[in-house]
Structure 1
Amino acid sequence: MKQRTLKQIVTATGVGLHSGERVALTLHPAEENTGIQFRRTDLSGEQGEIIKLSPYLINDTRLSSTVVTEHGTRVGTIEHIMSALAAYGVDNALIELNAPEIPIMDGSSLPFIFLLQDAGIVEQNAPKRFLRILKEVEVKEPSKWVKFMPYDGFKVGLTIEFDHPVFNRSSPRFEIDFAGKSYVEEIARARTFGFMQEVELMRSNNLGLGGNLSNAIVIDDTDVLNPEGLRYPDEFVRHKILDAIGDLYIVGHPIIGAFEGYKSGHAINNALLRAVLADESSYEWVEFGEDDETLPNAFFGVDTLRAA
């Protein structure tokens, strides 16, 4: 299997969910072995330099995964675009933006899927590297936990829990094994969500300034306020899976293993990545030839190049 990048440059504009700022976004092809990189075009000097993404740069997880470098450069709300990049198995790309946050678009990863389809995906010459989970690794916090387990493919399972009537109408758990299920069909359309009573508190902390009914599911005391309703009956837990996939792809490589979470969020997802990388006995880096018989049954991004 070979590394992948974009075939051509693509651009989009939108609004930052938390900053409320207008954002111009440009995705560029990138050389082999350069990984996913970001650059703030509105900044100069050290703050405007290219940032190579790693789990150790996620230093703000208030309602999103946000890069904060040693120079104070911020790139916020990266989880949705990272989720789309994971789905297409993109190893190398440069993402430029002129604001501190990736645009929220419609609150899901589907607009980024369309953007990648417009760009096209090409294979490169260097072999693709995978992170294979070798043993169970778990991170626990009060009332929540996440873990990785060995698995010959890529599978994600999540359970959410909210004391609210809207969440009692659908299953709190969803699991997807990408051996037989489509990310685009089952996950990509699921939107971020929030509670109306939290909006004032968020905005007092300069968060959620760009949120509205066109880019998030908004919930009042009893119901969903969006006139079109939900895209999936269990859209909430599916969006949490979308987030988790994006958070996990911050490691920069596809994962061969199973992820399971209970009330997971950006901070604990990142803590799990760091826990794995801190224990060299828990993982290995692997590569596969085109006809390698040891190729897993299925993993993320394998078939998307042919399907695109």
Structure 2
Amino acid sequence: MQTTIQTAVSFHGVGLHSGEPARATILPAQAGQGIVFRRSDVAAGHGRIPALWDHVHQSPLCTRLENRHGVTVSTVEHIMAALVGCGIHNATIEIDGPEIPILDGSSAAFVRGILRHGVRHMNAPVSALRVLKPVEVRRGAAMARLLPNESLTIEFAIDFEDAAIGSQRKLLNMSNGSFVRELSNSRTFCRKADVDMMRANGLALGGTLENAVVVDGERVLSPGGLRHDDEAVRHKMLDAVGDLGLAGLPILGHYQGIRAGHALTNNLLRELFSRPDSHEIVLCDSATAGHLPGAGVHWGEIPEVA
């Protein structure tokens, strides 16, 4: 059955790129609504922004959504990943500005808040998007692909010249609670040279060594080092889970990403929905529900941050 969060939960922090204070509150929502962002700081009737692939205003550094009034919300990928990974189908996310708080740069705080406040099962069946045929998009050396599969699996490969990251590859099934256990506390990462360039261009003003993993060659500059030896590829997988959540329905398919980013994953969804023969919408029975993202999450289990 469809789900929503049991009670409201709020998060306070700063926007990664604006550096301004930011507050986001996840609220329960009715069955069939899906995930919707709502800006509380704009004119009444203009602040509703559906969390859907065709509302993405592509940006190389984050996922930004925009409605028909030109109202935007940025850096939605980590909170979207938490909702998908915890199996929440309906929620309203009220925010008081244009950016979701970055918190520690991962989904861990969002996951802990969702798990602590609980899930409410609704009197409405859940539908899923089943991939029927391979769909692929490329941009230079980067590739993103969706293949038929009985559950959502995420496979990702990255290759960076900085020895602190290097080449990493990982594959995980998202239907056994592995998002919460394996991916949720993996932080966004960047090279020191990229930080310097972004700061020079007025970006990443809220970025610190506490909310991102910053590397410089062989060195990890963030205090405490890495939470996982392969934290970088795990975070790319986390981003992919959040960006795929903008399909509007749980996905049953195998995602493969090679050097892919937010824009390429959004292009993949656009390609998928442009080809009606590539997918179908299925009403989930009890067997299918066990393959959905978030299946197997233990609601009494609050993940520890390493």
For the aligned pair, the TM-score class normalised by the smaller chain equals over 0.9
Deviations 1:82-111 (A, max 9, x none): 000001111110001111100001001010
* Residue of structure 1 aligned with 2:183, choices 183, 187, 199: 187
What amino acid maps onto 1:62 in structure 2? Answer: P
- Matches of 1:42 and 1:297, distance apart in 2: 39
Picking from 61, 86, 89, the partner of 1:88 is 86
Once residues 306 and 52 of structure 1 are traced to their aligned partners in structure 2, the CA distance between those partners, rounded to angstroms, is 26
Identity of aligned residues (%): 39
Correspondences of 1:160-171 after superposition (within 5 Å): 160-168=158-166
Q: Distance in 2 between matches of 1:121 and 1:280?
A: 33
User: Quick one: structure 1 residues 298 and 289, their matched pair in 2 at CA, closer, same or farther if it must change by over 3 Å?
Assistant: closer
Q: Secondary structure at the match of 2:113?
A: helix
Deviations 1:205-252 (Å, cap 9, x if unpaired)?
332010001100011243110120100000000000000000000112
Indicate if the aligned counterparts of 2:143 and 2:260 stay in contact, CA closer than 8 A.
yes
CA contact (8 A) 1:46 1:71 kept: no
Residue aligning to 2:46:
47
Q: Is the 8 A contact 1:132 1:284 kept in 2?
A: yes
Does structure 2 retain, via aligned residues, the 8 Å contact 1:160–1:173?
yes
Give the conservation status (yes or no) of the 8 Å contact 1:187–1:241: yes
Distance in 1, matches of 2:110 and 2:3, equals 16
Aligned residue number for residue 292 of structure 2: 299
Amino acid at match of 2:14: V
* In 1: Cα distance, 2:192 partner to 2:213 partner: 10
Q: Which residue of 2 aligns with 1:16?
A: 15
- Cα gap change, 1:262/1:189 in structure 2, threshold over 3 Å: closer, same or farther? same
Tell me the TM-score normalized by structure 2: 0.94
Distance 1:179 1:32, change over 3 A: closer
Q: Contact 1:6–1:121 (CA<8 Å) still a contact in 2?
A: yes
Report the AA paired with residue 43 of structure 1: V
**Which deviations, in whole Å up to 9, do the C-alpha atoms of 1:44-70 show, x marking residues without a partner?**
14533x222210111132211011223
Runs of 4+ in structure 1 deviating by more than 4 angstroms, as ranges, are: 305-308
Which whole-Å CA distance do the structure 2 matches of 1:205 and 1:131 have between them?
40
Of 241, 246, 271 in structure 2, the residue corresponding to residue 245 of structure 1 is 241
Find the partner of 2:130 among 129, 132, 135. 132
The SS at the match of 2:159 is: coil
Which of 219, 225, 228 matches 1:229? 225
Q: Assess if the C-alpha contact under 8 Å between 1:121 and 1:305 holds in 2.
A: no
Could you say which residue in structure 1 is the equivalent of 2:304? none
After superposition, residues 135-174 of structure 1 pair within 5 angstroms as: 135-168=133-166, 172-174=168-170
Distance 1:25 1:306, change over 3 A: closer
Q: Could you tell me how far 1:304 is from its partner in structure 2? A: 2.2
Decide which of 262, 275, 283 is 1:266's aligned counterpart.
262
CA distance in 1, matches of 2:292, 2:204: 34
How far, CA to CA, are the matches of 1:229 and 1:305 in structure 2?
Answer: 28
Counting only pairs closer than 5 Å after superposition, residues 84-123 of structure 1 correspond to structure 2 as 84-123=82-121
Unaligned runs of 5+ in 1: none
Q: State which drifts further: 175-184 or 33-42.
A: 175-184
Listed one character per residue, the Cα deviations across residues 253-277 of structure 1 (whole Å, up to 9, x for unaligned) are 1110100011010000000011111
Matched, 1:285 2:281: yes
| Post-superposition offset of 1:42 | 1.2
CA distance in 2, matches of 1:209, 1:151: 40
Counterpart in 1 of 2:174?
A: 178
Q: Which residue of 2 aligns with 1:5?
A: 4
Question: Alignment partner of 1:166: what SS?
Answer: coil
Letter of the 1:79 counterpart: E
State the AA in 1 paired with 2:285.
Answer: G
Does the CA contact (< 8 Å) of 2:115 and 2:300 recur in 1? Answer: no
Q: What is the total number of aligned residue pairs between the two structures?
A: 301
Tell me the equivalent position of 1:65: 63
In 1: Cα distance, 2:99 partner to 2:278 partner: 33
Contact 2:174–2:294 (8 Å) recurs in 1: no
* Secondary structure of 1:240's aligned partner: helix
1:297 CA displacement: 6.2
SS state of the match for residue 167, structure 1? coil
Residue ranges of structure 2 left out of the alignment (5+ in a row)? 302-306
Q: Following the alignment from structure 1 to structure 2, what is the Cα–Cα distance between the partners of residues 268 and 253?
A: 19
